[in-house]
Amino acid sequence: MKDFGSVLRYHRVKGTRPQGVMRRWGVQELAGACGVAESTMRNWINNVNPPTEIAVIENVLFGDDPAGDDPTYAAWRRELQAAHAEARKARKAGGSDERLSDGSGNRATGKAPPVEARFSRLPARVPTHFIGRERELAQIATHLLSAGDRVATVILFGMRGVGKTTLVAAYADAHRADYRVVWSIRGEAALGTCEDLKELGLRLGLHLGSQDPSVASQAMLDYLAQEGRGVLLIFDNALNSKSVATFLPRGGECHVVITSNSHAWRNIGTPIKIEAWSTELGARFLVERTGEHSASSAAERLSIALDGLPLAHEIAAAYCEHKDVSIGDYLENFSANPVRLLSDHRHSPVEYYGGIAVTRAFEMAIEAANQVHPACGLLMSYASHLPDGPIPHCLFTLGSSYLGDFNGAPFTDDGIVEALGALKSFALINDSGLTSGSIVNDDRRVPQAMQIHRLIRIVSINYGIKSHYITESPEDTLIDVIKTALGKCDFFDNEPMDGRTGNYNTLIDYLHRLDHSADFAKKLSPESKKYLTQKYEEHVRNCQAWPH
Ligand SMILES: Nc1ncnc2c1ncn2[C@@H]1O[C@H](COP(=O)(O)OP(=O)(O)O)[C@@H](O)[C@H]1O
Ligand SMILES: [Mg+2]
């Protein structure tokens, strides 16, 4: 049987009303309708001091006709009455409706911490100029608040600096009335996670003092499986689903939000991808944050240059404010030397790992991906020299053997697939379609392709130089990589759905794009440029002679 608090909470969220028009009750609204203080209603919902009688509540939720003929309402009424009777009985018997674990696995120790404890630790300050994210906030609320009496888990994933931590802080702050406890937990390493879970237990009054953090954190999870209602746990910056799975509540009614760069979370909860800002939003932020209201056109251009990354917008605005320069001047400096401004940590918000620069944030991601597969840094450095836009996977899966061995590990096709997977899980590359602008591609298949955020490209190019990955002419090397890849495909192996044929067409298409990218083509040696043009013309001749 559901307890009294759960039943009340269910009807609050459902918005049960006598007229049958369901509209979610605010706690204050429900308290007002029942003629009690908001704190009293919160206590009831949390099973603390249940009311002596519930006629008014019944009236508010179900109407004043107990014999009414709607069977659902009659069943609800009976359920509430039964839950209330239980709660009263338990209270008379000594308050066992406030059962708690002491962390040792024993129940009802008599030293129960106060359930009504209310506190929160957010993962970051909500910025004064918090902007956008209305849709994402609504999505989080929908997933969590509609879960009923089960654990509900949402994962916010996306690239570094895109605003995941800020978003969950904003959600928790906006919904503080829905939770008695909001607790942010460091998600990147097991030790920090255990320590933060233990600290939560201590704050709740559990007797965990001398326990090892890993034991205490498991006791804390046992507690949450029973008493998780009204608790929001935030696991900030989790590496992946495997690393955090053992620290998630195994049952109960806790709400959980995880932030991560990794995209693969479907076994744990509902993933929500957090995208960079649109140009319009980015420009609005810059104007509001700097107060330079006449600069909307420069702000738009700067937002495009920053490719919508919120962290970079905040740094740019802070720089403008401190140095008293205009958005237009910042844009000019940025265009002349982006790496210098992206390496500036002095204007990075302290909320972002104590204030690290954009370059550092992405270099750390590349280094972490390199730990998973040693080719990641090199692949990123080369791929970043390709023009803006989708890059077909097959360019590297088929062509990177040209790059030889790497740290003793040969570039096998499988290895490259693994490396691309690692880059994706650190949000260094993004999935992308390759259909638009296609000249020779078969419409029936969408080749796998990736896209790299403009700022990550800038950082990776610089990282490639620093790490000596890049030879003198990366553009020519890339043409050789494509030559190698094309050598593994065959124009005449021509079944339309055949992967190799698809790859051939995809690569030829891509060559054509490179030829038309002035910035890329102008850096090529005359031989590479000639190859590019001739290969495409040869393909067109073949297509005419051997129409598919
Ligand atoms: N919605 C937003 N409104 C205003 N500033 C934001 C917003 N989202 C992010 N920021 C800024 O970007 C910085 C980085 O965001 P953060 O949430 O820490 O990124 P992530 O967790 O995705 O790495 C924040 O410190 C903040 O200054
Ligand atoms: Mg974060």
Ligand positioned closest to the Cα atom of 317: 1
Is residue 107 in a domain?
Answer: no
- The structure tokens listed for 516 are 């038309």
**SS3 of residue 207 by DSSP:** coil
Residues 283 and 258 in one domain: no
> Which residue, chain included where needed, has tokens 């690290």?
356
Residues 308 and 364 in one domain: no
Q: Find all residues with CB under 8 Å of 336, minimum gap 6, and list them.
A: none
Q: Is the dihedral of CA 43, 45, 49, 55 positive or negative?
A: positive
Task: Tell me how far the alpha carbon of residue 165 lies from the centroid of ligand 1, in angstroms.
Answer: 7
Looking at this protein, which amino acid is placed at residue 84? H
Is residue 353 in a domain?
Answer: no
Residue 274's nearest CA partner among 135, 390, 131 is 135
Is residue 109 in a domain?
Answer: no
Longest CA span, the chain: 92
CATH code at position 18: 1.10.260
Structural domain of 74: 4-98
Ligand positioned closest to the Cα atom of 188: 2
* Total domain count, the chain: 4
**Atom 16 of ligand 1, nearest CA residue:** 163
**Rounded distance between C-alpha atoms, residue 49 and residue 436, angstroms:** 63
Q: C-alpha angle 290/296/297, rounded to 5°?
A: 135
Is residue 60 in a domain?
Answer: yes
Burial of 127 (0-12, 13-18, 19+ CB in 10 A): middle
Is residue 103 in a domain?
Answer: no
CA 171 to chain centre: 13
**Rounded distance between C-alpha atoms, residue 226 and residue 221, angstroms:** 9
The residue from 98, 131, 149 where one domain ends is: 98
Contact 442, 502 (CB under 8 A): yes
Residues 226 and 328 in one domain: no
**Rounded distance between C-alpha atoms, residue 120 and residue 277, angstroms:** 28
Task: Tell me how far the alpha carbon of residue 231 lies from the centroid of ligand 1, in angstroms.
Answer: 24
Task: Tell me how far the alpha carbon of residue 226 lies from the centroid of ligand 1, in angstroms.
Answer: 34
pLDDT at 6: 87
Is residue 427 in a domain?
Answer: yes
Burial of 96 (0-12, 13-18, 19+ CB in 10 A): middle
Q: List, as one string, the DSSP characters of 438-484.
A: -SS--TT----EEE--HHHHHHHHHHHHHTT---S-HHHHHHHHHHH
pLDDT at 451: 94
The residue from 214, 248, 273 where one domain ends is: 273
Residues 162 and 226 in one domain: yes
**Rounded distance between C-alpha atoms, residue 286 and residue 156, angstroms:** 24
> Which residue, chain included where needed, has tokens 């796998």?
448
- The structure tokens listed for 541 are 């001749």
Phi, psi of 271 (to 5 degrees): -80, 140
Residues 325 and 370 in one domain: no
**Atom 4 of ligand 1, nearest CA residue:** 130
Residues 333 and 458 in one domain: no
**Rounded distance between C-alpha atoms, residue 296 and residue 287, angstroms:** 7
Tally of CA atoms within 13 A in the half-sphere of 107 that contains its CB: 9
Residues 482 and 374 in one domain: yes
**Atom 5 of ligand 1, nearest CA residue:** 130
**Atom 24 of ligand 1, nearest CA residue:** 311
Is residue 511 in a domain?
Answer: yes
pLDDT at 491: 62
Task: Tell me how far the alpha carbon of residue 381 lies from the centroid of ligand 1, in angstroms.
Answer: 26
Residues 305 and 365 in one domain: no
**Rounded distance between C-alpha atoms, residue 249 and residue 437, angstroms:** 48
Q: C-alpha angle 513/514/517, rounded to 5°?
A: 90
CA 207 to chain centre: 34
Alpha-carbon Rg for the chain in angstroms: 29
**Among the atoms of ligand 1, which is closest to the Cα of residue 361?**
23
Residues 256 and 317 in one domain: no
**Atom 3 of ligand 1, nearest CA residue:** 130
Strand order in the sheet with 255-260: 119-121, 181-186, 231-238, 255-260, 152-157, 270-273
> Which residue, chain included where needed, has tokens 């359920």?
79
CA distances (Å), origin 212, targets 194, 197, 199, 250, 482: 9, 11, 12, 20, 55
Ligand positioned closest to the Cα atom of 160: 1
Task: Tell me how far the alpha carbon of residue 228 lies from the centroid of ligand 2, in angstroms.
Answer: 24
Contact 44, 35 (CB under 8 A): no
**Rounded distance between C-alpha atoms, residue 212 and residue 195, angstroms:** 9
pLDDT at 492: 59
The residue from 64, 98, 132 where one domain ends is: 98
Residues 391 and 500 in one domain: yes
Q: List, as one string, the DSSP characters of 511-535.
A: HHHHHH-HHHHTTS-HHHHHHHHHH
- The structure tokens listed for 527 are 């031989």
Q: Cα-Cα-Cα-Cα dihedral of 513, 514, 516, 519, to 10°?
A: 140
Is residue 441 in a domain?
Answer: yes
Contact 358, 453 (CB under 8 A): no
E-state strands within 261-341: 270-273
Q: Which residues line ligand 1 (CB under 6 A)?
A: 124, 127, 129-133, 160-166, 259, 310-311, 314, 349, 351-352
Contact 125, 393 (CB under 8 A): no
> Which residue, chain included where needed, has tokens 């940025």?
334
Phi, psi of 239 (to 5 degrees): -65, -55
CATH code at position 196: 3.40.50.300
**Rounded distance between C-alpha atoms, residue 343 and residue 349, angstroms:** 13
pLDDT at 48: 79
The one-digit pLDDT tens for each residue of the chain (548 residues) are 788 988 998 898 888 988 777 888 888 889 888 888 887 888 888 777 888 889 889 989 988 877 777 888 888 999 999 999 988 887 777 643 333 333 333 333 334 444 456 899 999 999 999 999 999 999 999 999 888 788 999 999 999 999 999 999 999 999 998 899 999 999 999 999 999 999 999 998 888 878 889 899 999 999 999 889 899 999 999 999 999 999 999 888 999 999 999 999 999 999 999 999 999 999 999 999 999 999 999 999 999 999 999 999 999 999 999 999 999 999 999 999 999 999 999 999 998 999 999 999 999 999 999 999 888 999 999 999 999 999 998 899 888 888 876 666 667 767 888 899 999 999 999 987 665 444 444 444 556 899 999 999 999 999 999 988 887 899 999 999 999 988 887 665 544 444 444 788 888 889 989 988 999 999 999 999 999 888 888 888 877 776 65
pLDDT at 493: 54
pLDDT at 539: 81
Residues 297 and 444 in one domain: no
Residues 465 and 374 in one domain: yes
**Rounded distance between C-alpha atoms, residue 174 and residue 491, angstroms:** 58
